[in-house]
């Protein structure tokens, strides 16, 4: 079932059918109707592959997500959902590539094989081979996140450095003197994951500015690791009264460990973080956090990408968000731990 068959049955040429469909050339009303009748009868739809070959574009964007095996955080999920949603609104399809490091087969198929018109890249590292590869091919792409040389690409990102710094200042304002940073997983940070490093930077800066005692810890992205992490922190640092974190997925476990240690939040212990708005609101208790508008970010990334696809010569655009901290009741005045009971 192809355009030739429709043409034959309608008694016209293939080009006429094509034009009847696209409207790029006037077609007489009668032939138009005759063609439409045949199309409806046979349920014909143009072959997208042939069209893509002819037009030189696939009307598809690639979405590179963290590699298989790792569970997506709520924020990442929000990115994916909003990218897919925004693409759909623009009648673009989304091809998924779960790939992390270099030489990933699905990534290479997508990029090398020109399967997509552009790419949205998630979980970018400070040095990122995928960015290098994409720049080399000239395929339009937009990062949700950025590398060490952000001026070389288009991206949207969260200003983790500023946000974690604000968390620390907020906690310091409440009188906390010993604060811990709970980061993402050690592997991720070791691999040069941007937010992990920038959170460290912002934390270190704010802690220095306020002259606080501090400790940093990496923690895998799950509840159990959150429990272990906080247990360790409490054990090793008796004076600790507050945590700042960018690790959403570990939060439920962190709460649990505090509870089991007999520490009430925010009476005995404060927690502030950076998290997807939806997630922060639905935690129990709701987390005082810089609310990352994950949905908006994905949509903006797609907008930028569509722009770059339309005109690859567009200068690179960036969007660095530093959403305000929403107070939700997990932070309060510092109170020494282990009071003489």
Partner DNA sequence: TTGTAGGCGTTATCAC
Partner DNA sequence: GTGATAACGCCTACAA
Kindly list the residues in this chain that would bind a copy of itself in the complex (CB under 8 A).
43, 45-53, 58, 60, 63, 68-69, 71-72, 77, 81, 84-85, 88, 91, 93-98, 105-106, 108-110, 112-115, 136-137, 222-224, 252, 256, 278, 282, 284
| CB 171, min distance to a copy of itself, A | 25
Q: Which residue, 8 or 51, is less far from a copy of itself as judged by CB? A: 51
Whichever of 7 and 61 has its CB closer to DNA, that residue is 7
Helices (H), 213-316: 223-236, 251-260, 277-282, 294-310
Binding range to DNA, per CB under 7 A, among 50-58, 140-148, 285-293, 328-336: 50-58
Residue 211, binding choice from DNA, a copy of itself, none, Cβ under 5 to 8 Å by partner class: none
Residue from 8, 33, 42, 53 in contact with DNA (CB under 7 A) = 53
Residue 97 near which of a copy of itself, DNA, none (CB within 5-8 Å, type-dependent): a copy of itself
Q: How far is the CB of 102 from DNA (least distance, A)?
A: 23
The residue (of 28 and 224) whose beta carbon lies closer to DNA is 28
Q: Does 132 bind DNA (CB under 7 A)?
A: no
Q: Is the CB of 252 or the CB of 323 nearer to a copy of itself? A: 252
* 193 and 184 Cβ atoms separated by less than 8 Å: yes
Question: Which H helix or E strand runs over 177?
Answer: none
Residue 16 binds which entry of DNA, a copy of itself, none, with Cβ cut-offs from 5 to 8 Å by kind? DNA
Cis peptide before 234 (omega within 30 of 0): no
Distances in Å between the Cα of 65 and the Cα atoms of 80, 101, 116, 143 are 8, 11, 15, 11
Residue ranges with strand state E in 30-183:
60-65, 93-98, 118-122, 141-144, 154-158, 178-182
Tokens read off for 296: 């908006």
Sign of CA dihedral 137, 140, 142, 146: positive
Residues written for the chain:
341
**Angstrom distance (rounded) from CA 309 to CA 303:** 10
| Spatial contact of 19 and 52, defined as CB atoms under 8 Å apart | no
Size of the site for DNA (CB under 7 A): 30
Nearer to DNA, 18 or 326 (CB): 18
DSSP, collapsed to helix, strand or coil, labels residue 216 as strand
**Residue 15, contacted partner among a copy of itself, DNA, none, CB below 5-8 A by kind:** DNA
Task: Please report, for residues 202, 209, 340, the alpha-carbon distance to residue 214 in angstroms, rounded to integers and kept in the order given.
Answer: 12, 12, 24
* Residue 77 touches which member of a copy of itself, DNA, none, C-beta under 5-8 Å by kind: a copy of itself
Structure tokens at 60: 């598809």
Please identify which residue in 28, 132, 137, 224 interacts with DNA, judged by CB under 7 A: 28
Site for DNA in 5-24 (CB under 7 A): 11-16, 18-19, 21-22, 24
Angle between helical axes of 160-173 and 194-210 (0-180°, round to 10) = 30
Kindly tell me which of 207 and 257 has the beta carbon lying closer to a copy of itself. 257
- Binding residues (CB under 7 A) for DNA: these are 2-4, 11-16, 18-19, 21-22, 24-28, 30-32, 44, 46-47, 50-51, 53-56
């Amino acid at each position: 079932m192809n355009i030739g068959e429709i043409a034959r049955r309608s008694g016209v040429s293939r080009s006429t059918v094509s034009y009847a469909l696209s409207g790029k050339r006037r077609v007489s009303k009668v032939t138009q109707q005759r063609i439409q009748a045949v199309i409806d009868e046979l349920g014909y739809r143009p072959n997208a592959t042939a069209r893509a070959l002819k037009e030189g574009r696939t009307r598809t964007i690639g979405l590179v997500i963290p590699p298989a095996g790792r569970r997506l955080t709520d924020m990442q999920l929000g990115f994916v959902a909003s990218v897919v949603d925004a693409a759909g609104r623009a009648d673009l399809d989304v091809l998924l590539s779960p790939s992390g490091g270099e030489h990933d087969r699905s990534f290479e198929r997508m990029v090398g094989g020109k399967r997509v018109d552009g790419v949205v890249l998630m979980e970018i590292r400070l040095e990122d081979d995928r960015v290098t590869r994409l720049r080399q091919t000239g395929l339009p792409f937009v990062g949700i996140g950025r590398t060490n040389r952000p001026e070389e690409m288009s991206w949207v990102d969260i200003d983790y450095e500023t946000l974690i710094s604000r968390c620390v200042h907020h906690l310091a304002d409440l009188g906390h003197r010993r604060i811990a940073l709970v980061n993402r997983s050690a592997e991720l940070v070791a691999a040069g994951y941007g937010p992990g490093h920038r959170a460290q930077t912002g934390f270190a800066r704010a802690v220095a500015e306020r002259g606080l005692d501090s400790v940093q810890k990496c923690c895998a992205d799950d509840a159990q690791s959150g429990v272990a992490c906080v247990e360790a922190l409490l054990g090793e640092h008796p004076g600790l009264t507050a945590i700042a974190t960018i690790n959403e997925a570990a939060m439920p476990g962190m709460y649990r460990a505090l509870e089991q240690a007999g520490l009430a939040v925010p009476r005995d212990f404060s927690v502030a973080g950076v998290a997807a708005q939806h997630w922060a609101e639905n935690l129990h208790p709701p987390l005082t956090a810089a609310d990352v508008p994950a949905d908006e970010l994905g949509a903006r990334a797609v907008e930028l990408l569509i722009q770059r696809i339309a005109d690859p010569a567009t200068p690179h655009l960036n969007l660095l968000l530093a959403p305000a901290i929403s107070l939700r009741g997990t932070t309060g005045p510092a109170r020494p731990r282990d009071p003489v009971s």
